[in-house]
């Protein structure tokens, strides 16, 4: 056994002036949130994406919790969520008493199946939560049409999709609300962090209140009220300016980060095409009308046993690959709180066969070639 993995699955990195900016905010003597670098991060997201407002938060999970509060989720409501996603997508709504209605995924993009979405709508459906898996856009034309016809809210969980586009429009700008993650496993990071993107102006004022423990503190600091007080529900969802300083150092070079990831993604795709054809392995599918965000590179092995052998094979060679997600409808909490009226056979199958290769901004060509070379030695049939 090797003591250290030669190539980890993920590794965070310095992309620009993160440390300089942290030193500046600390020297300035004010490190709480909603000032300085936090405002600069928000402004950058707002002007780049063209959203009505962007609020930096402690995590994507918390931004999702804010979204559930903002759209007034209450016990008995139903929320349509892909089963193939991270737990936070469902938890945020379940915390408010909603029943997750789990939707299967498309076998090509692994995004929520838009036809299943329309079949799962009931009179109690309050929201649809598309997750742009791997940063490839869901079929938003169809999902928007379904939602708009019934007056149902859309909250995009865009944790994977920052700076990706669907039919030329930024991911995160389709729903009334969208959420971003800056967790260390995401393209752009500050360790732990997130953002709530607001496309519908009507949510802005209340979102500021929810984020500030249910107080009108933001209005107070803008001089719009002469004292601040408790006016609504809320929690502590503001990102510290120390983290925002780190985040701004990455966000201001987002195009360079995305270019690095674009190269890594295509190098994998080119290096593994022949091997994948010979071995019955499927590479990621990106439709023509989607500009992906280059969040991950996954492989679909022919079956669960070859996938498990693959992970062990790479690990023996010092390369860490991982799988995800246990479909939420089959998890202990998801099966207790949620329902999957149409079943989710595609997600169940994909979940057993998917593996993600090492993918991080500073993955060197040399290391990536080593990964590709070892993958090419793997035989799916033993
Ligand atoms: C990472 C992730 C989250 C949670 O992000 P945090 O910032 O860690 O709360 C939510 N949804 C999806 C799809 C994710 O990948």
Q: What confidence tens digit (pLDDT) does each residue in 354-363 have? A: 999 999 999 9
Nearest to 94 by CA among 64, 124, 120, 138: 64
- The closest-lying atom of ligand 1 relative to the alpha carbon of residue 194 is 7
3 within a domain of the structure (yes/no): no
76 within a domain of the structure (yes/no): yes
d(CA 4, CA 7) in angstroms, rounded, equals 9
Query: Is the Cα torsion angle 252, 254, 256, 257 positive or negative in sign?
Result: positive
Question: Same domain for 245 and 281?
Answer: no
Could you tell which of 58, 60, 65, 328 is best to mutate to test the pocket of ligand 1, judged by most ligand atoms within 8 Å of the CB?
60
What are the helix and strand counts (H, E) for the chain? 14, 12
Q: How far is the CA of 229 from the centre of ligand 1 (A)?
A: 31
**Which residue has a Cα nearest atom 5 of ligand 1?**
60
| pLDDT recorded at residue 253 | 98
The CA-CA-CA angle for residues 107, 108, 114, to 5°, reads: 70
9 within a domain of the structure (yes/no): no
Q: How confident is the model at residue 5 (pLDDT cuts 50, 70, 90)?
A: low
Q: Is 29 exposed, middle or buried (0-12, 13-18, 19+ CB in 10 A)?
A: exposed
Question: Same domain for 241 and 317?
Answer: no
Q: How far is the CA of 88 from the centre of ligand 1 (A)?
A: 6
| pLDDT recorded at residue 222 | 87
This prediction has a pTM of 0.97
Question: Same domain for 46 and 83?
Answer: yes
Q: How far is the CA of 81 from the centre of ligand 1 (A)?
A: 14
Cβ of 61 closer than 6 Å to ligand 1, yes or no, is yes
Cβ of 22 closer than 6 Å to ligand 1, yes or no, is no
State yes or no: pLDDT of 255 exceeds 60: yes
11 within a domain of the structure (yes/no): no
At a CB cut-off of 8 Å and minimum separation 6, what does 178 contact? 51, 155, 156, 157, 158, 171, 172, 196, 197, 199
| pLDDT recorded at residue 313 | 98
Owning domain of residue 275: 255-377
| pLDDT recorded at residue 3 | 53
Question: Same domain for 87 and 193?
Answer: yes
Weakest mean pLDDT among 67-71, 117-121, 223-227, 270-274: 223-227
Strand order in the sheet with 99-103: 53-57, 194-198, 177-181, 153-157, 125-128, 78-82, 99-103
12 within a domain of the structure (yes/no): no
Question: Same domain for 29 and 52?
Answer: yes
Question: Same domain for 245 and 267?
Answer: no
Q: Which helix (H) or strand (E) holds 299?
A: strand 298-300
Cβ of 86 closer than 6 Å to ligand 1, yes or no, is yes
CATH code for position 180: 3.40.640.10
6-17: pLDDT as tens digits: 999 999 999 999
Question: Same domain for 228 and 281?
Answer: no
Question: Same domain for 183 and 56?
Answer: yes
**Which residue has a Cα nearest atom 14 of ligand 1?**
159
Average pLDDT, stretch 77-91? 98
State yes or no: pLDDT of 2 exceeds 80: no
User: What region does 50 belong to: left with phi over 0, alpha with psi -120 to 50, or beta?
Assistant: left
Q: Is 255 exposed, middle or buried (0-12, 13-18, 19+ CB in 10 A)?
A: exposed
CATH code for position 298: 3.90.1150.10
The CA-CA-CA angle for residues 362, 287, 175, to 5°, reads: 85
Q: How confident is the model at residue 4 (pLDDT cuts 50, 70, 90)?
A: low
95-114: pLDDT as tens digits: 999 999 999 999 999 999 99
170-211: pLDDT as tens digits: 999 999 999 999 999 999 999 999 999 999 999 999 999 999
70 within a domain of the structure (yes/no): yes
Last residue of a domain, one of 188, 223, 253: 253
Quote the percentage of the chain above a pLDDT of 70.
99
Question: Same domain for 274 and 322?
Answer: yes
Question: Same domain for 314 and 267?
Answer: yes
Q: How far is the CA of 380 from the centre of ligand 1 (A)?
A: 31
Question: Same domain for 321 and 197?
Answer: no
The CA-CA-CA angle for residues 249, 197, 50, to 5°, reads: 80
- The closest-lying atom of ligand 1 relative to the alpha carbon of residue 131 is 13
At a CB cut-off of 8 Å and minimum separation 6, what does 222 contact? none
| pLDDT recorded at residue 330 | 98
The backbone torsions φ and ψ at residue 236, rounded to the nearest 5 degrees and listed phi first, read: -105, 90
Cβ of 131 closer than 6 Å to ligand 1, yes or no, is yes
Last residue of a domain, one of 228, 253, 278: 253
Question: Same domain for 280 and 204?
Answer: no
Domain count, the chain: 2
Could you tell which of 12, 62, 67, 86 is best to mutate to test the pocket of ligand 1, judged by most ligand atoms within 8 Å of the CB?
86
| pLDDT recorded at residue 140 | 98
DSSP letters of 49-64? HT-SEEEEES-HHHHH
Nearest to 105 by CA among 121, 89, 83: 83
5 within a domain of the structure (yes/no): no
368 within a domain of the structure (yes/no): yes
Q: How confident is the model at residue 382 (pLDDT cuts 50, 70, 90)?
A: confident
Could you tell which of 81, 157, 182, 322 is best to mutate to test the pocket of ligand 1, judged by most ligand atoms within 8 Å of the CB?
157
Name the average pLDDT for the chain: 97
Cβ of 88 closer than 6 Å to ligand 1, yes or no, is yes
How many residues in the chain?
382
Last residue of a domain, one of 227, 253, 279: 253
State yes or no: pLDDT of 143 exceeds 90: yes
Nearest to 80 by CA among 88, 89, 71: 89
């Amino acid at each position: 056994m090797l003591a250290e993995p030669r190539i980890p699955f993920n590794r965070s990195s310095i992309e620009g002036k993160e440390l300089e900016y942290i030193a500046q905010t600390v020297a300035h003597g004010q490190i709480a949130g909603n000032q300085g670098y936090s405002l600069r991060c928000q402004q950058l997201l707002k002007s780049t994406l063209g959203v009505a407002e962007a609020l930096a938060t402690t995590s994507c999970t918390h931004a999702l919790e804010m979204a559930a509060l903002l759209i007034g989720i209450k016990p008995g409501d139903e929320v349509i969520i892909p089963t193939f996603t991270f737990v936070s997508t469902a938890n945020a709504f379940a915390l408010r008493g909603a029943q997750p209605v789990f939707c299967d995924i498309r076998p090509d993009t692994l995004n929520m199946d838009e036809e299943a979405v329309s079949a799962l709508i009931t009179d109690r459906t309050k929201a649809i939560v598309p997750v742009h898996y791997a940063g490839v856009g869901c079929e938003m034309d169809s999902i928007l049409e379904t939602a708009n016809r019934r007056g149902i809210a859309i909250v995009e969980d865009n944790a994977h999709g920052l700076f990706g586009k669907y039919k030329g429009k930024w991911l995160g700008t389709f729903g009334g609300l969208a959420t971003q993650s800056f967790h260390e496993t995401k393209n752009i990071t500050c360790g732990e962090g997130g953002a709530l993107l607001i496309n519908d102006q009507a949510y802005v004022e209340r979102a500021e209140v929810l984020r500030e423990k249910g107080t009108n503190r933001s209005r107070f600091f803008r001089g719009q009220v002469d004292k601040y007080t408790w006016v609504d529900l809320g929690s502590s969802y503001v990102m510290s300016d120390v983290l925002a300083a780190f985040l701004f150092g990455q966000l201001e070079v987002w195009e360079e980060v995305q270019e690095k990831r674009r190269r890594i993604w295509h190098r994998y795709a080119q290096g593994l095409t022949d091997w994948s054809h010979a071995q019955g392995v499927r590479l990621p599918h990106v439709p023509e009308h989607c500009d992906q965000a280059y969040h991950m590179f996954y492989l679909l092995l022919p079956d669960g046993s070859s996938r498990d052998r693959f992970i062990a094979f790479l690990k023996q060679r010092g390369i860490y690959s991982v799988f995800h997600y246990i479909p939420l409808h089959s998890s202990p909490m998801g099966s207790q709180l949620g329902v999957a009226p149409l079943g989710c056979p595609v997600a169940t199958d994909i979940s057993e066969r998917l593996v993600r290769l090492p993918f991080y901004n500073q993955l060197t060509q040399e290391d990536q070639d080593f990964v590709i070379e070892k993958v090419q030695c793997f035989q799916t049939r033993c």
